[in-house]
Amino acid sequence: MTNTRKPRKPRAIKSSGRVGVKLGKAVKLEGNMCCPHCGYGADGASCMGHDASPKAGDLAVCICCATVLVYTGDNMMRVAAEYDMAGLDWQAQLHISLAIQAIKAIPPHLRPRKGSIH
């Protein structure tokens, strides 16, 4: 007897634990903000704990490649340097670390494509 089942589609990995981070309301970003590492175009953002648009000096994590970024004052982003992370308290560093781990846990075929704009 042959197996007549259809092959299963790959599914996203679901985490059993929840991180205690409350995200604010998503806001639309002005300009053409692209990750300088992978070229992914970001058209929206959420802030941790409150509703606000990101401002110059705020940190972000690229949803495509998990690179830590810094918003600049000219509606652009740059890759974060060590000095950008040095002044953060342990909770902010933990949240960034958890965000990076969560993005890297997403199977590559389910992540946004590099160079695309969403």
Residue pLDDT, tens place only, 58-95: 888 998 899 999 988 787 889 999 998 888 889 888 88
CA angle at 48 for the pair 95 and 63, rounded to the nearest 5°: 65
Residue pLDDT, tens place only, 20-62: 455 667 777 777 788 999 988 877 777 766 666 788 888 889 9
Q: Strand runs (DSSP E) across the chain, as ranges? A: 27-34, 41-45, 59-61, 68-71, 77-79
